[in-house]
Chains A and B, each alone.
Chain A
Amino acid sequence: MSTTRPAFTPQFMREDGDAAPWTVLRPDGQLEEGARPTLDDAQLREACELMLFSRAFDEKGFSLQRQGRFGTFSPVRGQEASVVGAAVALDPQRDWVVPQYRELPALLRQGLPLEQFMLTFLGDPRGGLAPEGVNVLPIQIGLAAQLPQAVGLAWGLARQGRDAVVLVFCGDGASSEGDFHEACNLAGTLGAPVVFLLQNNGWAISTPRSRQSAAVTLAARAPGYGIPGSLVDGNDLLAVHEVVSDAVGRARAGDGPSLVETLTYRLGDHNTADDARRYQPADELESWAPRDPIARVLAHLRSRDLWDDEHDAAVRARIGRRIDEAVRTVEGVEPPGVDHLFAHVGEELSPRLARQRADLIASVETR
């Protein structure tokens, strides 16, 4: 009874992770065959305005930084659909956003005043305060550190019976950190109501996505953590919204976490201290320009008569006024001082810290 057994081959091959990203809107703004938008007209226009706001703020932030009025700043440029599409899948009243640092419109959607975000980039510690009721954690500079925190937040909210979902952002670079894997793994074991939104923008400063991981897609890691993963066109507002809504719905229904990889592209420098021309191939950059996420939504809205020149001008004027108002407000804020080194370090100032504070104040005064 001797049968020859076939030689072993690995059951799970790299190619298994390859899939076409989910799309709803084609680059020309037309719906894919049979696709139906998951946002109604008003929601779509609102989301588009938020994307435009983000783009306008990027420009303002860059110019303020160049004038020395703003600190190092990372624009969202190119990733507006990925951030906004995900954010509008949440209910800001109960759901939470845990950011990396490149997700301003998601924070605004949750209710963070623009002024708070701006204060942070002015180098003022008071920018760290999100008003009570605004469901966001502070922006994160230590890459991937936010991910296990988001799992804990989701776990804790669920344990206390709150009907809340946590949306946590990270980049393709951050997804190489141990904290990323630990967080996904933990979330899977707990069934925590968290959505990992991995924005694959092609780059981590100068390091291309291809050097971060040999995995064909980053979403394909999900089954290894025992959670669903999906790949979506990150420059397609409606596709991102649909996929993230699905993940949020499952999390809300008690079906646990998901990993969503948005395929998008950083249209420019990593931040105001970077010069992407040193490493970003010009032809690659050019190939992404026609896929601009904002142009795509605008084309769609215009084709459905939901946006015209008049509305466009009104929206842009409104955005410009709001940003200018915020700039004036934050630039008028009394500069922070010694007290802001010591405030909020702990619940109480120990006698030793109180003495350090007094010494420092004295040294500033005698100067």
Chain B
Amino acid sequence: MSTLNMLQAINATLRAELARDERVMVLGQDVGRLGGVFRATDGLLDEFGADRVVDMPLAEAAIVGASIGLAASGLVPVAELQFLGFSHQAFHQIGAQLARMRYRSQGRFPMPVVLRAPFGGGVRTPELHSEALEAQFVQSPGLAVVTPATPADAKGLLQTAVRSSDPVLFCEPLRGYRLVTGEVPDEDCPIPFGRSRVAREGDDVTIVAWSAAVQVAEKAADVLAEEGISVMVLDLRTLVPLDETGLIEAVAATGRCVVVHEAPLSAGFGAEVVATVNDGAFWSLEAPVARVAAPDTPYPPGRIEDLFVPTVARVVAAVRATVKAG
């Protein structure tokens, strides 16, 4: 075991995957000489050379489109989108192309492509750098959407992503890049997609979250524990595929559920969670399922982003209300 932060875990995993399989390559804006604007790819250029760690022209659509072609040629591209907010410039290559190439070619061209992208708010970035866009990609069938919250999960899920023959959008919580540290196994530890993780055991209510919202949920659980409310925190880890069984069992166990996410409320992935709970755990519910999300407004500038991104206080209030209800 080593104690690493998110960035260190991602960097070490990329390094190990490049060493393990020479078909793997890393490409993106500023990923080479600079080592990425957050240093996620630091040192990889020197170690693996400019053929395998490639600084690309400033064109997201070309980065993703070329990754599709690279995969068709037999390579395994791990592309970085500098921020998930700039995935829009490549959206046609992601949703309409990458996600459905296996289907379109009837299995001839599987797409072992990973798109890594930092996302999420709370760090006072300029405009368009913080949006939690994950739900937009859930509507691109064929694409896995992976949202780790801890360094160990970042490693295990990134290993699975690189080794998968299907395309993966790997969303990295930029707020936690340096702040979130944890024990990471030194050995291979691929984590299968579609398995949620109980981040904290509890009896009274289940908070469902992913990515940076997991830490918000855990802090809320600490506050609520002092009031005698015992909170289970379920980290979905992957939105596509969704761990339906894990979700339904976790909610049925407490009979109460609050979903927390950074994206705006309407048609956020929380809506899918509520619908899934409704299908599978309705008769175990003792209160309506609540959602804590951003309002349906544009991601605001830094000075008011703490009003926008769900806070511990808002989660605590929602849990209290859910526990009182019914």
Interface residues of A, Cβ cutoff 8 Å to B: 71-72, 101, 120, 122-125, 127, 141-143, 173-174, 176-179, 204-207, 211-213, 273-274, 278-279, 335-338, 340-342, 345, 352-353, 356-357, 360, 363-364, 366-367
Contact = CB atoms under 8 A, between A and B. Distances in A.
B126 A72 contact: yes
Nearest to A180: B59
B80 interface: no
Given A142-B86, A340-B300, A363-B313, A207 B30 contact: yes
B59 A125 contact: no
B58 A204 contact: yes
Interface in B266-324: 266, 295-298, 300-305, 307-308, 313-314, 317
B105 to A, nearest CB: 24
12 contacts: A71-B301, A71-B302, A122-B303, A173-B58, A174-B58, A176-B57, A205-B29, A274-B37, A340-B300, A341-B300, A352-B266, A363-B313
B89 A364 contact: no
A213 B59 CA distance: 11
Instruction: Pick the 3 closest A-B CB pairs, nearest first.
Output: A123-B302, A206-B34, A123-B303
A90 to B, nearest CB: 25
B135 interface: no
Contact of A212 (B58, B85, B314): B58
A56 to B, nearest CB: 22
Contacts of A360: 295, 307
B183 interface: no
B297 A353 contact: yes
Given A71-B124, A141-B126, A213 B300 contact: no
A212 B126 contact: no
A323 B57 CA distance: 37
Nearest to B92: A178
B313 A367 contact: yes
A2 B308 CA distance: 79
Given A207-B58, A353-B295, 6 more contacts: A124-B301, A124-B303, A207-B57, A341-B297, A363-B317, A366-B313
Interface in B95-126: 124-126
Given A178-B59, A279-B33, A279-B34, A125 B301 contact: yes
Interface string B72-88: 00000000000001101
A72 to B, nearest CB: 5
A278 B33 contact: yes
A278 B55 CA distance: 15
A123 B304 CA distance: 8
A356 B88 contact: no
Contacts of B303: 122-124, 335-336
Contacts of B29: 204-205, 207
B59 A176 contact: yes
B21 interface: no
Contacts of B127: 141
Contacts of B308: 341
A353 B34 contact: no
Contact of B307 (A143, A176, A338, A353): A338
Given A142-B86, A206-B34, A336 B58 contact: no
Contacts of A176: 57-59, 62
B256 interface: no
User: Which of B58, B305, B308: most chain A CB closer than 10 A?
Assistant: B58
Contacts of A273: 37
A141 B129 contact: yes
B61 interface: yes
B265 interface: yes
Contacts of A366: 313, 317
Contacts of A173: 57-58
Contact of A352 (B58, B128, B296, B305): B296
A304 B296 CA distance: 59
Contacts of A142: 85-86, 88-89, 128
Contacts of A124: 301, 303
Contacts of B317: 363, 366
A213 B126 contact: no
A360 B57 CA distance: 42
Nearest to B129: A141
A363 B304 contact: no
Contact of B55 (A71, A101, A211): A211
Contacts of A364: 307
B55 A207 contact: yes
